[in-house]
Amino acid sequence: MGNTAAIEIDSVILNFSPTSLQVLNAVLAVVMFSIALELKPSDFKRLVQAPRALLTGLFSQFILLPALTFCLVLLTKPQPSIALGLMLVAACPGGNISNFITHRAGGNSALSVSLTAFSTVSAIVLTPANIAFWGSLYGPTREILRQTSIDPVSVAITVGLMLVLPLCLGMLLNVRKPDVSARLRKPLQYLSMAIFIAFVVLALAANWSLFLQYATAVAALVFIHNGLALGGGFAAATIAGLSSFDRRAITIETGIQNSGLGLILIFGFFEGLGGMAVVAAFWGMWHIISGISLAGVMARRPLPQTV
């Protein structure tokens, strides 16, 4: 059944209505707005003045992870839509829940929040560029890109409106009305994450039989892919000579991808192509499990006194 499932998955179109897509857009915008309520322009200035941790995180996120993903695809040769799904997830910015997980791990939460913000802004250019570049290097995924004629400008506009605009508005409110942003911050974060999790659960329920049928075709690849992301982030931060405090943030930031954005791009530009959607949905569940588990292990290991 495994081979049959792998063959048929490219022709599967999941049930995901335009209304559902709009809801997911709105939820992710609220999540980004709530994260931005913790940011000020001075946070960015501080990182620019001491940029090693920031540059290491962005390198790990947008260069190392897509390259590792391409190597994984070459080694395993999955079905084309599964391969492109892995590439697309790797091209997305860090996931919003990474900030919560970094805090639980005892890592540098300020660096995590700033990396999420920087990677989100960078995603306007780097996400469509990575999808186009790495996807075009592998014959089967190049054919999907040719058939869908994905427009990098349209992807950039989608990312900008859904993620960057709320980020800027949240920062503006935090600067102009810090008392209001302080009151809104935690309730909005908890509410938006609860709605996001509920949305994923409902979307999976609507496609549960299909998901069960085809999840086995991607489960092992997602486990390995997520492991490469976490390991790659840790290795990059270690080679860069960063402190354990920063290393935990970069490890988690690289291993937690914005799979919600991935789903929006899949349904907006690839017509809900089955292998891609199953990969992004499975990532959306697994990276939370692996991230929180890793945070639990890290939290039990005290950091050196000098961080």
Domain boundaries, the chain: 2-298
Highest average pLDDT, of 59-68, 257-266, 292-301, comes from 59-68
Helix (H, G, I), strand (E, B) or coil at 95: coil
pLDDT for the residue 307: 43
Higher pLDDT residue, 9 or 90?
Answer: 90
Alpha carbon distance 92, 85 (integer Å): 11
Alpha carbon distance 287, 270 (integer Å): 23
What are the pLDDT digits (tens) for 127-165?
989 999 999 999 999 988 888 766 777 778 878 777 788
Check if the beta carbon of residue 54 is closer than 8 Å to that of residue 240: no
Alpha carbon distance 277, 263 (integer Å): 6
pLDDT for the residue 84: 94
pLDDT, mean of residues 262-272: 82
Q: Within 13 Å and on the Cβ side, how many CA atoms surround 92?
A: 27
Of 32-36, 105-109, 145-149, 302-306, least confident by mean pLDDT is 302-306
CA dist list (Å): 23 to 195, 212, 265, 283, 284: 10, 24, 14, 20, 16
pLDDT beyond 80 at 32: no
Alpha carbon distance 296, 106 (integer Å): 9
Q: What is the DSSP letter of 162?
A: I
Of 151-155, 164-168, 255-259, least confident by mean pLDDT is 151-155
pLDDT beyond 60 at 7: no
Check if the beta carbon of residue 68 is closer than 8 Å to that of residue 87: no
Alpha carbon distance 61, 233 (integer Å): 8
**Rg of the chain on CA atoms, in Å:** 18
DSSP string, 192-209: HHHHHHHHHHHHHHHTHH
Select from 1.20.1530.20, 3.40.50.300, 2.70.70.10, 1.10.3720.10 the CATH code of 2-298: 1.20.1530.20
Report the chain's mean pLDDT, rounded to a whole number. Answer: 83
pLDDT for the residue 281: 81
Helix (H, G, I), strand (E, B) or coil at 257: strand
Check if the beta carbon of residue 272 is closer than 8 Å to that of residue 137: no
What are the pLDDT digits (tens) for 101-114?
888 898 888 788 88
pLDDT beyond 90 at 166: no
Structural tokens at position 227:
């492991």
Res. 14 pLDDT band, cuts 50 70 90: low
pTM: 0.83
pLDDT beyond 70 at 306: no
Check if the beta carbon of residue 129 is closer than 8 Å to that of residue 93: no
- What are phi and psi for residue 256, nearest 5 degrees? -110, 105
Alpha carbon distance 292, 298 (integer Å): 10
Alpha carbon distance 98, 116 (integer Å): 8
Res. 6 pLDDT band, cuts 50 70 90: very low
Check if the beta carbon of residue 113 is closer than 8 Å to that of residue 136: no
What are the pLDDT digits (tens) for 200-243?
677 667 667 777 777 777 889 999 999 999 999 999 999 999 99
Locate tokens 């996120």: which residue? 61
Helix (H, G, I), strand (E, B) or coil at 290: helix
pLDDT for the residue 221: 94
CA dist list (Å): 9 to 2, 16, 32, 213, 280: 10, 16, 32, 9, 14
**Burial (Cβ within 10 Å: 0-12, 13-18, ≥19) of residue 122:** middle
